[in-house]
Amino acid sequence: MNRQNLISELEQITGRGRVFTDEPLMKHCSFRTGGPADLMIRVGTADQLKMVLALLKAEGKETFLLGRGTNLLIGDGGFRGAVITMTEAGSVSGEENGPAGKEPLSKVTASGTTLSAGAGATLQTIALTAARCGLSGLEFAAGIPGSLGGGIVMNAGAYDGEMKQVVREVTLLEEGEVRTRTGEEMEFGYRTSYMKSHPGAVVLGAVMELKEGDPEAVTARIRELAIKRREKQPLEYASAGSTFKRPAIPGVYAGRLIQDAGLRGYACGDAQVSEKHCGFVINRGSASASQIRSVIEEVTKRVFEDSGILLEREVIYLGEF
């Protein structure tokens, strides 16, 4: 079908005003770079997501599920396909969920010591909800600027905490069916999960098992970690957080390897290795995606020449560079 008919079909599923053409992806990426996507679709429920994916597959359209775009470098040429996002203003509730497939994919629900959340909910919202409910275990996640879906895909973590520690079960859309996997079945590892080896699967939501805690103490811990982040990380600049994974060698860190290779402050245009924390590649204002990629690849090359250690990116490349 032609483009306009496809847009009409998509709007019948999602509602009007939720399908965008030639959408600038720099607005949806923490690096603040990237060209347009041919289509961008906002879905609100699992049922909508299932129907949208089926329609796009039937039309032969390449798709990409976008969370908060905080671990992503989008090419200057954009993405010749459809970007689907579940992130938007959601709701927080203490009530039981509604009919399966109908709940907002950004909803957060607390019950006892468990917290249930849709894939589109931000990790910060989930962590702060836990704190208000007197639940401990997600303090580490409050400063991670991503969505739950992305956090599960990469087993997001910080300050000795990771999603693996709290996720009890995950609901997936897999091969057109809604399935539930236990935390153990999610095969969590360092910045990886079951999702990495099953790219066709989509996270719909998760149930997290937490511990009772004092709301004030949990909130104080979140504030303490926020201060540490501000002191040590270049949060004043656009970036995708830690650019590289920690090498699988005890006591060895990417930032130290980059510094030892003489690359502190190394730049290509406005793309630069942060002088505050060498593990971050930052956009000082008007860097292109190509410039950021150039810095990442030069750092990888020179660290290997200096140390013999091949750094592995955390950042995902998407689209045309």
Is the Cβ–Cβ distance between 213 and 136 less than 8 Å? yes
Alpha carbon separation from 188 to 58, 156, 163, 181, 197 (Å, rounded): 32, 10, 8, 12, 11
Active site residues: 191, 242, 314
- Three-state secondary structure readout of the chain: CCHHHHHHHHHHHHCCCCEEEEEEHHHHCCCCCCCEEEEEEECCEHHHHHHHHHHHHHCCCCEEEECCCCCEEECCCEEEEEEEECCCCCCEECCCCCCCCCCECCCEEEECCEEEEECCCEHHHHHHHHHHCCEECCHHHCCCCCEHHHHHHCCCEECCEEHHHCEEEEEEEECCEEEEEECHHHCCECCECHHHHCCCCEEEEEEEECEECCHHHHHHHHHHHHHHHHHHCCCCCEECCCCECCCCCCCCCHHHHHHHCCCCCCEECCEEECCCCCCCEEECCCCCHHHHHHHHHHHHHHHHHHHCCCCCECCEEECEC
